[in-house]
Every structure is written in C-alpha cells, then in structure tokens.
Amino acid sequence: MTITENPTTSTELVPVDVPATETVPDTETAAPTPDPKHIVLTYEQVEALGRDLDELRARVVADLGQKDRDYLYSIIRAQRGFEIAGRGLMYLGFFPPAWLAAVGALSVSKILDNMEIGHNVMHGQYDWMREDTYNSREFEWDTVCPADQWRHSHNYLHHTFTNIVGEDRDIGYGILRMDRDQKWNPYYLGNLGYATALMVLFEWGVMLHDLEVENILARKRKWYDVKGLVKGMWRKAGRQVLKDYVVFPALTGPLFVTTFLGNASANLVRNLWTFSIIFCGHFPSGAQTFTPEECADETRGQWYLRQMLGSANITGSPLFHIMSGNLSHQIEHHLFPDIPASRYPEISGEVREICERYGLPYNTGSLSHQLLSTWKKIAKLSLPNFMTRDDNDLVVTVERSRTAAA
Amino acid sequence: MSIRIPAFVGTIIESALSPHPVDRYLELVDPMTTWRDLRAQVIAVDRPTSRTVRLTLRPTRQWKGHTPGQYVQLSTVIDGVRHTRCFSPANTPADDIELTITAHDGGFVSSHLREHAHVGMVVGLEQAAGDFVLPDDRPRTAVFVSGGSGITPVLSMARTLVAEGHRGQIVFVHYARTPDDVAYRTELTELARADNVDVRLHYTRGPAGDHFTDDHLADVADIDDADLFVCGPAALMDAVANHHGSRGLRGRLHQEAFTLAAPLTVDPDAPVEGSLTFLRSGRSATNDGRTILDQAESAGLTPESGCRMGICFSCTAIKKSGCTRNVLTGETDTETDTQIQLCINAPVGDVEIEV
C-alpha cells in the first residue's frame, strides 16, 4: 500500500500545510518531509508534476524529425545485417565456431527486432513518420505473438493500468505471485519453477498472454470468446515455426538438424534476454503497486505519478540500452510510451531531476542488482506473507482531490 | 530493375522473410528493386516557370499505367515524415510519368518539391485513380478548359487525342496568371500546329484580368455537341458549368474538383460546428466538440479503443479529410489521409473519418 486516499479521510496522514491559492510547485515545502520513506504530495504538487512532464514531452515531440527516422532505419539495417549473417552462417553449421557465431548473430537479430524495433514501433513511437509497415497498425515482429494481441494486452492494458493489482495482468502474467497483495495459496510454492519455465518459453508465454488462460479456467471467460485470438495465434505461430523450423533448416539441406538447433537456440537466447529485461521493469524491490480504488478517476498528473512509482530502470552502456530496446529506461518509457525510445537516454536526466524535485524515488540499478532483486522477490513471494519480511517501506501520501486543499 | 521469378520460389522467399514484407529488405539495398511496392524514380527535373517543377518519373514494374485525366498519389519524405499528395500526369499513357507541380503559396509539399526535387530521387507512388477521364467513345469535338495547375489532366487528354490522330476539332482554353506562368507554353505551341487544334491562352492577373466569359467559347463551331472538360479553381469550374447549363449545351460536361491544400488557420474559440462523417458505417453526426471517439460511440458505433488518453494507439483510424484538434496539446492537423487517434482528437468543422 502506497497511496492514501484524500488526506482528510486518511489516518496515516502527515499534515500538509498548503495555501489554497498555491498552484506552482514549491520546492521548499514539496520535497523533504522529515522521513524520506514517507512522501507527501498535495493535489497541486501532483498536477504541477504532470505539467512539468507534459512540457518535457511537448519539447521532445516538437523536435522529432529526420534524425529519429535515420536512427530507426540504422537499427533496422543492423538487424537485417545480423539476420542475414546468422542465416548465412548456418550453412557452415558443421563447424562449431561458425554455428555459435550463427546463433549469436541470429539472437542479436531477434532481440533487436523484438525490442528496439518491434516493441517501440508497435507503441506508435514512429507513427508520426506516416511510413508503411513501420507504424503501430501494420508492424509484425519476429516472434510468435501476433502484433494486434500484443498491442491490446501491452499497450492498452499494461500501460493504462500499470501496476494496479487485479487490473494489470503483467503482475505475474496470471501464473506468478509478484506482489504481496496477491493472495497466497500453495500453488505459489512453485513460483521459482514457474518463473524459470516462463523465462525459457517466454515468446510462447507472451503469445498466450491475451488469452487470459486463468480467467478461462475460472470460467470468467468462455472459450468462444477467445476463438478469434486462438486463430490469430495459430496463424502467426504457424508462420514463425515454418520459417525457423522447416524452411531455413530445409534450405541448408544436409545441415537440417544443426540449423534447426541453431534457430531454436537463437529463439531461446532471445527468450532469456527479453524476460530478464522485462522482469526488471516493474518487479525490482522499490517498484510500487496500487489498488483499483487508489487509481479511480485519476488525473493526468496522478497517472504520471503512478507510472514513475511503478517502474524501475537499469543502468548500462549505450549498447546495452539499444539491446534492451531502451526498456532499461522503463520509467521514461512508462511516462511517454509513444516517444521514440532512443530519446529516453537524453531525457532521463531531466526526469530524474523532476523526481528529486518532488522527493520521489528514481528506481535504478545495474542489471545484476535489479535481476537479483527480482528473483529474490519471486522466491520470497512463493511463501505466505507472514513468513517473509515486506521490503517495501515506502509510503506515499497523495491528496487525490482538489477540494481538500481549499 | 524488375524481378520475375516462379511463384513457388516467391512463396518460399516470402515465408523465409516473414513476418517482414520482402520490400522492407530490398529497399535497404535498392529502393527501385521492389517485390510488391510501387515506387518511382525521378529521371528528369525541369523548372519551366518560377513556381513550377516538372518531374519525369520512371515507375517500378508494378505500374499499370494511367487513363488520360486520372491522378496519382505521390509521397515523399520531408524531415522524417512521409507526405502524400495527388497530382495528375500530363503525358499520354506511357511508361514514364510526367508531373508538373505548382508550388502554391504555403503549399508544403509542392514548395519542397520545387526546391529539392533532383534526378535519382525515389518517391512513393499509388496506381492511377479518378473518374475524370477521356471517355472510351472519343468525343468528336473536345473542348478543354483549364486554370493554373489544372492544365495537367486535360493536357494528357488533348495530347492523347492528337497522338491517336483524332480528326475532330480540339479546343484548348487555358487560364494562367501571367504569360510567364504558362508551364506548357512550348508544348501548347507545338500542339497548335495541327490544323484541328485551337489553343487559346488567357491571363487573369493585372488590370485587364481576363477571366472566363461566354465569349471565350462562343465561336467554337459545334460547341452545342462538344464534350467539355474542365479542371481548375472553383470559380472557373462554376463559370464553365453555368455556361454549359445556361446555353443548354447538349455535349457532356466533365469536371475535376481542384482543391488547394492550403493550411487552415483555426480559431480555438470559434463556435463548434460542422459534421462528422463516419465513412465505413455510412453514418454521420453533428459535431458537438467532443473527441471523435466519444462522438462515434454516441452515434452508436463501437470503434476499437483502449486507454482513452492517447497512449495505447488502439483507436487509431484514418482521417480522410478535415481539420482535427489534439485535445491534449491543442495542436491542429489538416492533413488528409492520415492516421489519427480518435480518443484525443476532436473535429474542427467538417471531418471525414474511416470508422
């Protein structure tokens, strides 16, 4: 629990002394409350935070142009290069170093395709280019999940209801316990095992995500409701399987088996990598979750605040950021999901500054730190709450409606 | 260069490169080597007047040719954004396409092309379309009336008749601002050499502004039965249509609406007006100022939608025409045939949307 309702009704309220006329953030009174783990924000402060972020967004959008187009095409060019190199090297698959290089190149190709190109293009980050194919309506990625289903479960559900327990299905993907507010039952003793299986089979898990299998099992959703989804999966997965496990192996003739194994390995490497990056986005300790009541009738400022508090970044080199599709800038991505991801590094400093100005945490750490933190959480949550300690000691008190300030 | 390979091999290539279209690979090597896409390369650039640029385009093998009078959609990238505009070829049906583009005041794409078009440049192209065409049963007497850049489709028709050895009379009346603004002066002089071709030029600027009057066609023999083809500004079209009606001419009147993509200045405080047309469902609504998504739902439609706050792009649909205002940023957009997010855009005046 992090955000309290209207402070006038809140018991854990730290008194906030704000004149009714105040409309601009006052850095003196905004940030430092005596306890750094208890953040108190008035309605107007949250709205001012929203205006700061809107202004930052408008500045970036106004500057979009040829260089962003050139950047996207340079990544596409690199991805195609790795793809062709990987497919080509499979013809030397009898020679182990060449096979390894082929798997490496193909893995890089799939990672670039899925993350820096696919995920970002499908978010509409490049829709302003009005280009064929590279827009959120048309783009398909090199993975078994159909683009239209991904856009529904990810762009709409996850990005709108981010970290709201019970509404954001990315919290545990219907099979894992990723938050203490999810009720424990003995099934979750296998949390670590399920997470590992999901990691290995990640592209298939992502494909099945929009089905909401757990809701079908719970009879909240009927099979005929998902017939269209299943057809779409069958079609997309069929094409992917045909390509990776029939066409390209067959094209290498006698090397069918080594090519088959090579393609499977590249898909596996992509699965491990994307799972790891994505799980560091919202699950490292410190990332906050919310209840539906806390988020009802949110203002834009309050929505921004939830995105900031619920996301976590990963530090790394420019190459690392590209290979993670800039999801290493998860906070910036969740604030501005439709701004080209290559712009996140340059605005991250300013976003962090805004966080600090309002006394908010900016959750970031190295990949190993964030991964360890995530896996520790998966392990702890396999047990009932009374057996483990709650790592989340952050309390955010937000005044949710204007009337209370007056 | 063209690619011709057996269908079976083609299927294998497409399934190997799936999910990406083959053209998304080929364009990185050579944008003129295409699998399915239609594109064209500029092979000649001429600037016949101070406001026009003439492009000769060589299309890829997918080009099916045009019927005289039709238009094509040409697209080009300006500062990272692909812009699409309609232009009518002025040539007789042939492999290469000749477009003469007038840089109108404030015409973003036309001005860009006037300045920056160069030989070797590759542009996007759509197949020719439009019903303003030379009829298959060729008219005996054809009268062409054009104003400004409206000359191109009717010139294509006149040139085609001449190339076919048409025996009947051809009258070509053209209105330009000044003598310096006639982009096709040489070609028209050439056409006028034939005995049955009568070219008449009128200049509309200056103290003796010579706009269309009945006199300009009065002496055409056989005018009563002539096919009349008109393309130009609205005032010219209206005047010719009036003439056709009031004189009780029996020949067919063919006209092509000719609109300028002039940037619209929008007053955000202006009263809400206009109507919203949902093209796919055939419904319409009186604009009430709310977002297009809200208004579509009030009209009983259920377009795909999601976040309702402009982040998820589920509700993106094509705006065919009209001006919309982004309710988050206040920015207005007057582009035609462009994708917009229904949940954060409200109509300003009449808007046509593919919902």
The alpha carbon torsion through A17, A19, A23, A27 (nearest 10 deg) reads -40
- pLDDT at res. B14: 95
Q: Do B80 and A67 touch (CB under 8 A)?
A: yes
- Residue from the list A239, A248, A337 with its beta carbon closest to the beta carbon of B19: A239
Nearest chain B alpha carbon to A134: B24
Check residues A88 and A285 and name the one with the higher pLDDT.
A88
Which among B328, B332, B333, B347 has a CA at the least distance from the CA of B271?
Answer: B347
Least Cα separation, residue B88 to chain A (angstroms): 23
**Alpha-carbon gap: B173 to the closest alpha carbon of chain A (Å):** 39
Q: Is the pLDDT of residue B1 over 60?
A: no
Put simply, the answer to whether B313 touches A67 (Cβ < 8 Å) is no
Evaluate if residue A17 carries a pLDDT over 50: no
Q: How confident is the model at residue B265 (pLDDT cuts 50, 70, 90)?
A: low
Residue of B267 and A277 predicted with greater confidence = A277
Is the pLDDT at A106 greater than 80, yes or no? yes
B80 closest CB neighbour out of A58, A69, A303: A69
Instruction: Check A248 against B16: CB less than 8 A apart.
Output: yes
- Confidence class of residue A10 from pLDDT cuts 50, 70 and 90? very low
* Separation of alpha carbons A203 and A212, rounded Å: 15
Question: Would you say residue A299 has pLDDT above 80?
Answer: yes
Q: Tokens 């083959």 correspond to what residue? A: B22
pLDDT given at position B140: 93
A73: closest chain B residue by CA: B28
Nearest to B311 among A242, A243, A338 (CB): A338
Q: Which of A65, A141, A155 has its CB closest to that of B314?
A: A155
Whether the CB of B319 is below 8 Å from some CB of chain A: the reply is no
Instruction: Report the 10 Å Cβ neighbour count for B130.
Output: 15
Cα B126 off chain centre by: 11
Average pLDDT of chain A to the nearest whole number: 90
Instruction: Note whether residue A118 is domain-resident.
Output: no
Higher-confidence residue of A18 and B112: namely B112
CB contact (8 A) between residue B339 and residue A130: yes
Q: How many CB atoms are located within 10 Å of the residue B210 CB? A: 13
Of B272 and A318, more confident: A318
pLDDT-derived band at A213 (thresholds 50, 70, 90) equals confident
Q: How confident is the model over A6-11, as a mean pLDDT?
A: 36
Residue-level pLDDT at A124: 96
Q: Which residues of A touch B25 (CB under 8 A)?
A: 80
pLDDT above 90 coverage of chain A, percent: 81
B73 close contact with A: CB closer than 8 A: no
Nearest CA in chain B to A67: B80
Which spans in A19-65 are helix H? 27-30, 43-63
Query: In which band, very low, low, confident or very high, does the pLDDT at B254 lie, cut at 50, 70 and 90?
Result: very high
* B62 near A CB under 8 A: no
B-interface mutation test, from A162, A168, A247, most B Cβ less than 10 A away: A247
In this prediction, residue A14 has a pLDDT band, given cuts at 50, 70 and 90, of very low
Cβ-Cβ contacts under 8 Å, A338 against chain B: 310-311, 313
Determine the residue of chain A that is closest to B328 in CA distance: A54
Q: Which of A77, A133, A160 sits opposite B312 (nearest CB)?
A: A160
Q: Is residue A214 pLDDT above 90, yes or no?
A: no
pLDDT on residue A57: 96
Name the residue in chain B with its Cα closest to that of A154.
B312
Concatenating the DSSP letter of every residue in A260-276 gives HHHHHHHHHHHHHHHHH
pLDDT in tens, B117-165: 999 999 999 999 999 999 999 999 999 999 999 999 999 999 999 999 9
Contact (CB<8Å) A152/B307: no
* pLDDT of A32 higher than 80: no
Q: How far apart are CA A248 and CA A57, in angstroms?
A: 44
Q: What is the pLDDT of residue A26?
A: 43
Domain hosting residue A394, numbered range: 2-58+282-399
Q: How confident is the model at residue A304 (pLDDT cuts 50, 70, 90)?
A: very high
Q: Rounded to an integer, what distance in angstroms lies between the CA atom of residue A139 and that of residue B298?
A: 31
Spell out the alpha helix ranges (H) of chain B.
7-17, 23-29, 108-116, 151-163, 185-191, 215-218, 234-246, 292-298
The angle subtended at Cα B99 by Cα B95 and Cα B105, nearest 5°, is 165
Residue A8 falls within a domain, yes or no?
yes
Show residues of chain B in contact with A132, CB under 8 Å: 37, 124
Chain A residues with CB inside 8 Å of B28's CB?
73, 76-77, 80
Q: Is some CB atom of chain A closer than 8 A to the CB atom of B298? A: no
This complex has an ipTM of 0.89
Average pLDDT over residues A178-186: 94
Average pLDDT score over residue span B14-24: 96
Nearest C-alpha of chain A: how many angstroms from B233? 29
Q: Do A247 and B80 touch (CB under 8 A)?
A: no
B201 Cβ contact list (under 8 Å, min separation 6): B174, B176, B179, B182, B188
Q: Do B306 and A155 touch (CB under 8 A)?
A: yes
Determine, yes or no, domain membership for A37: yes
Residue A115 resides in a domain: no
- Closest CA of chain B from A360, distance in Å: 23
- Which residue of A lies nearest to B79 if distances are taken between CA atoms? A66
Say yes or no for a CB contact (<8 Å) between B313 and A247: no
With bands split at pLDDT 50, 70 and 90, how would you rate the model's confidence at B268?
low
Cβ distance of A155 and B19 shorter than 8 Å: no
Mean pLDDT for the stretch of residues A141-162: 96
Judge: B313–A142 Cβ closer than 8 Å, yes or no. Answer: no
Look up the pTM and report it: 0.90
With 70 as the cut, is the pLDDT of residue B100 above it?
yes
Q: Is B28 on the interface with A (CB under 8 A)?
A: yes
Nearest residue on chain A to B13, alpha-carbon basis: A247
Residue B259 has what pLDDT?
60
Instruction: Please give the average per-residue pLDDT across A159-181, as a whole number.
Output: 93
pLDDT tens per residue, range B22-75: 999 999 999 999 999 999 999 999 999 999 999 999 999 999 999 999 999 999
Q: Which of these ranges, A174-188, A206-220, A328-342, has the smallest mean pLDDT?
A: A206-220
User: In A, which residues are within 8 Å of B15 by CB distance?
Assistant: 239, 242-243, 247
- Domain assignment present for A330: yes
Residue A31 has pLDDT above 80, yes or no: no
| B318 sits in which H/E element | strand B316-326
Using a CB–CB cutoff of 8 Å, tell me whether B19 touches chain A.
yes
Q: Which of B15, B80, B338 sits opposite A65 (nearest CB)?
A: B80
Q: What is the overall mean pLDDT for chain B?
A: 92
**Amino acid B264: pLDDT:** 52
B245–A contact, CB cutoff 8 A: no
pLDDT in tens, A215-244: 888 888 888 889 999 999 999 999 999 999
Comparison of pLDDT for B71 and A15, the residue scoring more: B71
The pLDDT tens digits for A76-89 are 999 999 999 999 99
The mean per-residue pLDDT over the stretch A269-283 comes to 96
- Full set of structural domains in chain B with CATH: 38-125 (2.40.30.10), 142-256 (3.40.50.80), 275-353 (3.10.20.30)
Q: What gap in Å lies between CA B150 and CA B233, rounded to an integer?
A: 8
Rounded to whole angstroms, the Cα distance separating B304 from B118 reads 42
Q: Do A271 and A114 contact (CB within 8 A), yes or no?
A: no
Is residue A186 assigned to a domain?
A: no
Top-ranked range on mean pLDDT: pick from A208-222, B286-300, B327-341: B286-300
> Which residue on chain A is closest to B24 by alpha carbon?
A133
DSSP-assigned letters across all residues of B217-282 = HHT-TTGGG-EEEEES-HHHHHHHHHHHHHTT--S-EEEE-----PPPP--TTSPP--EEEETTTT
Q: Are B312 and A248 inside 8 Å of each other by CB?
A: no
pLDDT at A30: 47
Q: What percent of chain B has pLDDT over 70?
A: 95
A64 in a domain, yes or no? no
| pLDDT confidence band for B207 (50 / 70 / 90) | confident
More confident residue, A403 or A395: A395
Contact A159 B307 (CB under 8 A): yes
Question: Does the residue A346 lie in any domain?
Answer: yes
Number of folded domains that form chain A = 1
Do you find a cis peptide bond into B68, omega within 30 degrees of 0? Answer: no
**Region of A221 on the Ramachandran plot (φ > 0 left; ψ -120 to 50 alpha; else beta):** beta
Chain A residue nearest residue B83, CA to CA: A130
